[in-house]
């Protein structure tokens, strides 16, 4: 009986560890290998109709594209990035990056409202791609529950879903093991 | 101001402004072909940025545009800042190279020899083999067939595993044979290097693509030095002293009818009339619009040309048979209808091989024509020496043009 208990304990623990290992591996592309592009806005609390400077920081030797999607009602005002490396189409701005480590651009805030800045990147030299964590832009007093733009990047949603599935599976295994 | 004049005046001003704005577009397009390392690096950054924007536009904005694949961009980035390299070839097609070319099938080979880039060539057209006596490396290449009216063997081309195909704009097979059938990612580059007015531009483009810009720059310097020297001397000829020239294009083979010759007006037959005007003469058929270029022998006699300049589609480095050119010369000299023509009476009939005029040796051929037309102005210039200079300097050949070859007649 003692031997049986040890076998069951061993199998379920192994399944549990495997689940979390899978989860960690799946989350790796988002958080590891120095590929992440960060976005910082300044000022953090912009005035209505004021300008916001957005700074994107790339990892070293990044060659590829950065695609920023500006929420409706917000206006792309310009960038210090070379003009032959920028393309604007509607609310989407594409930056071609050939080794630069930083991109600065400015957005004009609406008189009132809020929205999420979304972004994607594609490192064409290393054939990797991903999303830039969303950034909330809000005028003073705006109702942030009704912001335009997507709150979370598709990549984050995907990994959250995987995490939820793994967590549920883990819980089920734990319950069966306790019986 | 009276109101009735306002509209016409405004319209006039609009026209003036439009013309001023349009002027740069009217000018001949200036193509800045990178030649130095700094220029090449700057260009590759510009090209890469543009290609990344196009790639992202297609993939994130769903725009239907031509763009490099992710694999091609990765290759270009791997070789950055030497690559990507991009030119507009002579058909107006944008050609982008993402990595060094090492296996070129050169259906048009001759410029590769002058650029010292034979080592990058794996296959050549059958017709190129006749230059083997000048560039022996040709014999080591795969003979893909073709040349003249014959098509090359496409399976042989594929067996060469080419990374690019170099061919002509109009000579040889067209888009349906090459562009439509080449494997994806293998560019077809159409640069002629045979027309006098585009030799330098095309050489610079090719030199840039195959990493031989030192050689293309050297060619440009050599070409410019001789062309400027000829220009300088011809500029001393007053318009009323210029020779009237009839350009006789391969008439012997073109027509069996003895009462007909073929010539070139402005812009016809690859503008062969330029051989007359570039040599300081006046093309008597300049205003001819007949698309075939055929003229009646009586019309020719009425033009009273001082000189008849024949262009023959014969002649080569591997032949010493001057009859290929003398046949055309003798036919003109003995034609009964031309006996009162000054060019015939004074025995001023000269024949050029197309192998001499249609190619990188053009400065030598031009000096030959200028000397035929104005011998006193070019007494100290030896066109054969210019030709020899080209062979020695650019092909590294010991071939002696005074001993061998059929290039011009009677001298």
Per-residue pLDDT of A6-19, as tens digits, reads: 555 556 555 555 55
Per-residue pLDDT of B226-281, as tens digits, reads: 999 999 999 999 999 999 999 998 766 555 567 889 898 876 556 788 899 999 99
- B77/A82 touch (CB, cutoff 8 Å), yes or no: no
d(CA B238, CA B234): 9
Q: Which residues of A touch B57 (CB under 8 A)?
A: 87, 89, 94
B214 against A24, higher pLDDT: B214
- A85/B78 touch (CB, cutoff 8 Å), yes or no: no
CA dist list (Å): A93 to A88, A97, A137: 4, 13, 17
- B70/A127 touch (CB, cutoff 8 Å), yes or no: yes
DSSP 8-state secondary structure symbol assigned to residue B176: T
Torsion of CA B300, B303, B304, B308, to 10 degrees: -50
**Min CA distance, B407 vs chain A (Å)?**
50
- A122/B56 touch (CB, cutoff 8 Å), yes or no: yes
pLDDT of residue A12: 59
Q: Does A64 touch chain B (CB under 8 A)?
A: yes
List the structure tokens of B308.
């008849």
pLDDT above 50: residue B315: yes
- A87/B48 touch (CB, cutoff 8 Å), yes or no: no
pLDDT (mean) for B210-217: 97
* B191 phi, psi to nearest 5 deg: -130, 130
Q: Does A2 touch chain B (CB under 8 A)?
A: no
Average per-residue pLDDT for chain A = 79
* B33 phi, psi to nearest 5 deg: -90, 120
For residue B324, the domain's CATH number is: 3.40.50.1980
B266 lies in the same domain as B119: no
pLDDT (mean) for A93-102: 97
pLDDT (mean) for A123-142: 93
**Min CA distance, A125 vs chain B (Å)?**
5
- A96/B49 touch (CB, cutoff 8 Å), yes or no: yes
Domain-embedded: residue B8: no
- DSSP code per residue over B12-33: HHHHHHHHHHHHHHHSPPP---
d(CA A6, CA B152): 76
- B56/A97 touch (CB, cutoff 8 Å), yes or no: no
Confidence of residue B53 (pLDDT cuts 50, 70, 90): very high
Residue of A nearest to B48 (CA): A98
Q: Choose the mutation target among B52, B75, B84 for the interface with A, i.e. most A CBs under 10 Å.
A: B52
Q: From chain B, which residues contact A within 8 Å (Cβ)?
A: 45-46, 48-50, 52-53, 55-57, 59-61, 63, 70, 73-74, 77-78, 80
List the structure tokens of B374.
């104005």
Q: How many domains does chain B have?
A: 2
- B56/A65 touch (CB, cutoff 8 Å), yes or no: yes
Q: Identify the domain boundary among B153, B187, B219.
A: B219
CA dist list (Å): A146 to A52, A68, B101: 20, 21, 56
Q: Which residues of A touch B60 (CB under 8 A)?
A: 65, 67, 92, 94, 120
Residue closest to B396 by CA, chosen among B134, B53, B22: B134
Q: What share of chain A is helix, strand, coil (3-state, %, to 5)?
A: 35, 35, 30
B262 lies in the same domain as B302: yes
B261 against B32, higher pLDDT: B261
* B127 phi, psi to nearest 5 deg: -65, -20
Select the residue of B56, B63, B78 nearest A67 (Cβ to Cβ): B56
pLDDT of residue A3: 57
Per-residue pLDDT of B326-368, as tens digits, reads: 999 999 999 999 999 999 999 999 999 988 888 999 999 999 9
pLDDT of residue B21: 36
Domain-embedded: residue B227: no
Domain-embedded: residue B7: no
Per-residue pLDDT of A25-71, as tens digits, reads: 444 444 334 458 999 999 988 999 999 999 999 999 999 999 999 99
B278 lies in the same domain as B389: yes
Which residues make beta-bridge pairs with A41?
Answer: A54
B166 lies in the same domain as B245: no
pLDDT above 50: residue A116: yes
- B80/A122 touch (CB, cutoff 8 Å), yes or no: no
d(CA A92, CA A76): 9
CA dist list (Å): B159 to B49, B117, B127, B142, B155: 35, 21, 19, 9, 6
Q: Does A83 touch chain B (CB under 8 A)?
A: no
* B213 phi, psi to nearest 5 deg: -70, -25
Give chain A's radius of gyration (CA, Å). 22
pLDDT (mean) for A92-121: 96
Residue closest to B137 by CA, chosen among B169, B115, B162: B115
Cis peptide before B84 (omega within 30 of 0): yes
Confidence of residue A83 (pLDDT cuts 50, 70, 90): very high
pLDDT (mean) for B87-116: 96
d(CA B31, CA B44): 15
Domain-embedded: residue B12: no
Q: Choose the mutation target among A60, A63, A121 for the interface with B, i.e. most B CBs under 10 Å.
A: A63
If residue B230 lies in a helix (H) or strand (E), which one and from where to where?
helix B213-234
Domain-embedded: residue B23: no
B198 lies in the same domain as B244: no
d(CA B169, CA B92): 10
- A65/B80 touch (CB, cutoff 8 Å), yes or no: no
pLDDT above 80: residue B22: no
Q: Report the Cα B368 to chain-centroid distance in Å.
A: 18
Residue of A nearest to B77 (CA): A125
B49 lies in the same domain as B175: yes
Which residues make beta-bridge pairs with A65?
Answer: A96, A122
B245 lies in the same domain as B334: yes
pLDDT above 80: residue B135: yes
B158 lies in the same domain as B305: no
* Structural domain harbouring B323: 237-409
Torsion of CA B371, B193, B174, B34, to 10 degrees: -150
Q: Does A128 touch chain B (CB under 8 A)?
A: no
pLDDT above 60: residue B63: yes
pLDDT of residue B130: 86
Confidence of residue B391 (pLDDT cuts 50, 70, 90): very high
Domain-embedded: residue B214: yes
pLDDT of residue A162: 54
Per-residue pLDDT of A152-166, as tens digits, reads: 544 444 555 555 555
B291 lies in the same domain as B385: yes
pLDDT (mean) for B118-138: 93
pLDDT of residue B273: 85
pLDDT of residue B23: 35
Strand B188-190's sheet: what is its strand order? B142-143, B121-124, B104-106, B164-167, B188-190
Residue whose tokens read 């390299």: B85
* B344 phi, psi to nearest 5 deg: -80, -45
d(CA B370, CA B270): 20
pLDDT of residue B217: 96
* Percent of residues, chain B, with pLDDT higher than 70: 90
CB atoms inside a 10 Å sphere around CB B229? 16
pLDDT of residue A7: 58
B174 lies in the same domain as B81: yes
Select the residue of A87, A92, A125 nearest B77 (Cβ to Cβ): A125
Domain-embedded: residue B347: yes
d(CA A114, CA B125): 67
Q: Does A100 touch chain B (CB under 8 A)?
A: no
Q: Are strands B104-106 and B164-167 parallel, antiparallel or unpaired?
A: parallel
Helix and strand numbers (H, E) in chain A are: 2, 9
pLDDT of residue B264: 87
Q: Which residues of A touch B75 (CB under 8 A)?
A: none
List the structure tokens of A120.
């994607």
B342 lies in the same domain as B265: yes
* B367 phi, psi to nearest 5 deg: -60, -35
B385 lies in the same domain as B261: yes
Domain-embedded: residue B162: yes
pLDDT (mean) for B30-50: 90
């Amino acid at each position: 009986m003692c031997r049986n208990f040890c076998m069951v304990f061993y199998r379920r623990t192994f399944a549990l560890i495997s689940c979390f290992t899978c989860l960690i591996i799946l989350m790796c592309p988002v958080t590891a290998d120095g590929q992440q592009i960060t976005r910082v806005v300044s000022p953090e609390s912009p005035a209505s109709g004021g300008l916001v400077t957005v700074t994107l920081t790339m990892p070293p030797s990044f060659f590829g594209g950065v695609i920023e999607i500006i929420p409706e009602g917000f206006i792309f005002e310009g960038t210090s990035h070379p003009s032959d490396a920028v393309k604007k189409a509607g609310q989407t701005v594409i930056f071609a990056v050939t080794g630069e480590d930083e991109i600065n651009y400015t957005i004009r805030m609406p008189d009132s409202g809020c929205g999420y800045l979304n972004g994607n990147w594609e490192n064409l030299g290393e054939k990797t791609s991903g999303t830039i964590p969303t950034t909330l832009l809000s005028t003073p007093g705006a109702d942030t529950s009704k912001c335009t733009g997507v709150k979370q990047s598709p990549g984050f949603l995907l990994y959250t879903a995987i995490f939820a599935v793994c967590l549920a599976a883990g819980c089920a295994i734990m319950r069966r093991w306790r019986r | 101001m009276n109101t009735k004049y306002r509209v016409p005046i405004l319209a006039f001003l609009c026209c003036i402004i439009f013309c001023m704005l349009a002027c740069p577009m009217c000018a001949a397009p200036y193509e800045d072909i990178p030649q130095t390392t700094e220029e090449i690096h700057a260009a590759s950054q510009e090209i890469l940025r543009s290609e990344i924007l196009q790639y992202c536009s297609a993939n994130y904005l769903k725009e239907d545009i031509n763009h490099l694949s992710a694999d091609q961009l990765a290759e270009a980035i791997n070789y950055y800042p030497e690559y990507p390299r991009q030119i507009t070839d002579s058909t107006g097609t944008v050609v982008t190279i993402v990595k060094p070319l090492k296996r070129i099938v050169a259906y048009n080979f001759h410029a590769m020899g002058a650029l010292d880039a034979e080592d990058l060539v794996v296959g050549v057209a059958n017709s190129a083999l006749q230059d083997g006596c000048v560039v022996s490396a040709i014999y080591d290449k795969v003979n893909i067939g073709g040349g003249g009216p014959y098509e090359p063997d496409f399976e042989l081309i594929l067996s060469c595993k080419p990374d690019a195909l170099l061919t002509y704009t109009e000579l040889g097979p067209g888009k349906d044979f090459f562009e439509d059938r080449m494997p994806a990612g293998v560019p077809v580059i159409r640069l002629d290097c045979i027309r006098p007015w585009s030799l330098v531009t095309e050489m610079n483009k090719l030199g840039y693509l195959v990493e031989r810009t030192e050689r293309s720059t050297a060619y440009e310097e050599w070409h410019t030095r001789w062309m400027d020297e000829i220009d300088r001397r011809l500029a001393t000829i007053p318009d009323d002293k210029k020779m009237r020239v009839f350009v006789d294009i391969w008439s012997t083979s073109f027509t069996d009818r003895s009462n007909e010759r073929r010539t070139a007006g402005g812009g016809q037959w690859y503008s062969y009339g330029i051989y007359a005007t570039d040599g300081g003469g006046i093309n008597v058929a300049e205003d001819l619009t007949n698309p075939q270029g055929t003229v009646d022998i009586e019309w020719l006699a009425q033009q009273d040309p001082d000189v008849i300049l024949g262009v023959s589609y014969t002649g080569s480095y591997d032949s010493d048979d001057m009859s290929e050119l003398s046949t055309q010369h003798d036919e003109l000299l003995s034609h009964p209808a031309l006996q009162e023509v000054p060019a015939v009476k004074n025995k001023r009939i000269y024949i050029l091989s197309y192998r001499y005029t249609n190619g990188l040796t053009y400065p030598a051929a031009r000096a030959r024509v200028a000397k035929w037309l104005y011998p006193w102005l070019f007494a100290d210039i030896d066109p054969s020496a210019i030709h020899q200079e080209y062979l020695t300097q650019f092909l590294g050949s010991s071939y002696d043009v005074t001993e061998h070859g059929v290039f011009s007649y009677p001298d």
